[in-house]
Amino acid sequence: MKLKNYALGEWFTSSNTGKVVNHAITGLPIAEVESNGLDFSEMLHYARTQGNSALQALTFHQRAKLLKSLGIYLLEQKELFYTCSIGTGTTRKDAWIDIEGGIGTLFSYASQALNSLTDGHILLDGKQEALSKQGSFVGQHIYSSITGAAVHINAYNFPVWGMLEKLAPSIIAGVPVIVKPATQTAFLTELVAQHIVASGILPKGAFQLVCGSLGNMLEHTTYQDVVSFTGSAQTGQMLKAHHNIVTESTRFMMEADSLNCAILGEDVATDSADFNLYIREICNEMTTKAGQKCTAIRRAIVPQDKLEAVIDAIKLRLGKVVIGHPENLSVTMGALAGLEQRADVLASIERLSESAEVVYGSTDLDSFNVLDGDANKGAFLAPVLMVNQDPGCDLSKQTAHDIEAFGPVCTLFSYSNTEHALALAARGKGSLAGSIVTSNYDLAQQLCLGAAAHHGRLLLLNESCSSESTGHGMVLPQLVHGGPGRAGGSEELGGLRAVRHYMQRTALQGNPEMLAAILSNTK
């Protein structure tokens, strides 16, 4: 099946031979991906003219109602999406995060816009500023929609959520989108896109899809456009340095995979509920989506005197994981997205072995059982737990602070005191998410304040919130998703903050009556 592109209001199939994508479970060909023949300059022009004008003629509330209607429509098709998602290697439980989590983001943004924004076109930023003694000259910051398009370059691990979590704030802001899914799982994104188009809910030009290379699209972006990237830090940094992004000052947002950590507090006893919570989070993050989450825990930082207990507890829990075909209800972990991805993970484990040893699992594909599947055909891999032998962070060695195995892999580090734990956490050079497990408020404050500068989000977990906690790796539309340094230095989501990413902040100056007339019916 050759995937289609949606451009200039029409579905387009390239005549060129494309990249063949294989089913993650069976290894059989499932799709062919190619975008050659698209006019990327015209796609941007179409979005800026047709899409931009149609969306910005609508108010915030009207755009929000479009999202709500789209969410309802897609939810009715969800079983089609679940069936297709098996080809990406996920169990139904894992696919729920992607499919219904993505659709839920549409509902969340629709609700936030309807409840918190006025039915207008401009957002106020802060209070009016007095600029004169008599009050005849004042200032006010506002946000207005940019006049360009949003180019969304998405990762393979969340082919539905990745598209919809970017689309939602863009549409609320009145900015049309051009979606470029990752090739490996583009077949699921394309299926959802077919239904987005078939619904007829979004205005003409508000949505376009590129399955394959973006070609020279970035060459045609301007300062009124936005490029939002999710994926590896290496690829993101290359795109960020693109000459047109630099010379045109095109807005660039980057959410990159990072070496997220979880710190076990020194106060936590090995027979406590908090200890069990820590073990649960580590194992969940290793096995959910087969560890293919940008927020997954890659580095577990534990007190030296509890290292062996942590190893034993993780081994016990991982021993209950059932790997296999997602259609078998006994299976708790599916496959990686493809054989190429598994090869990358195995290569990363090999590099990690320079300073860490495997204490659970194996890279030998014959060493673990696959229920209703074949590890030599599908992209299956057992969870791998490693222990770093360089807790002092010798910079001459390649360690888990520098190398990410984007799969079911986690490395343990031991620390001697709180300062050491924080130093280890900071070695990640910027992370999307971190967790701190403790019931000691003073220790929590010390760890939180010491780690916050290096993280986009911190989960402070203990027994008191465990029953309602969404967990370390869950990204929520109300909270910021992003982080400093290696994580990209940008933000997504965070409620209505994300809407402002697609708007321009401008300081207005003038007499109060003039500004009041301009800003009537705004918030």
- Catalytic machinery residues: 255, 294
| Beta bridge mates, 461 | 437
- The two most distant CA atoms of the chain are separated, in Å, by 82
Q: Which two tokens stand for residue 281?
A: 């989070």
* Other CB atoms within 10 Å distance of the CB of residue 521: 10
Alpha carbons 83 and 261: distance in angstroms, whole number: 33
Residue 210, CA atoms < 13 Å, CB-side half-sphere:
25
How does DSSP assign 3-60, residue by residue?
PPEEETTEEE--SS--EEEE-TTT--EEEEE--TT--HHHHHHHIIIIIHHHHHTS-H
End-to-end CA gap in the chain: 48
Pairing of strands 384-388, 297-303: unpaired
Give the separation between CA 114 and CA 124, rounded to whole angstroms. Answer: 16
Distance CA 169, CA 500 (A): 8
Ramachandran bin of 382, using left for φ above 0, alpha for ψ from -120 to 50, beta for the remaining angles: beta
Are 454 and 485 contacting, i.e. CB atoms less than 8 angstroms apart? yes
CA 456, CA 446: separation in Å to the nearest integer?
17
User: What is d(CA 12, CA 14) in angstroms, rounded to the nearest whole number?
Assistant: 7
Task: Enter the tokens of residue 430.
Answer: 């910027």
Please give the DSSP secondary-structure letter assigned to residue 333: B
> Which residue has 């989506």 as its token pair?
289
Tokens found for residue 166: 């970017």
14, 212 Cβ separation under 8 angstroms: yes
Burial class (CB in 10 A: 0-12, 13-18, 19+), 129: exposed
Q: Do residues 34 and 59 touch, judged by C-beta distance below 8 A? A: no
Strands 480-483 and 490-493: antiparallel
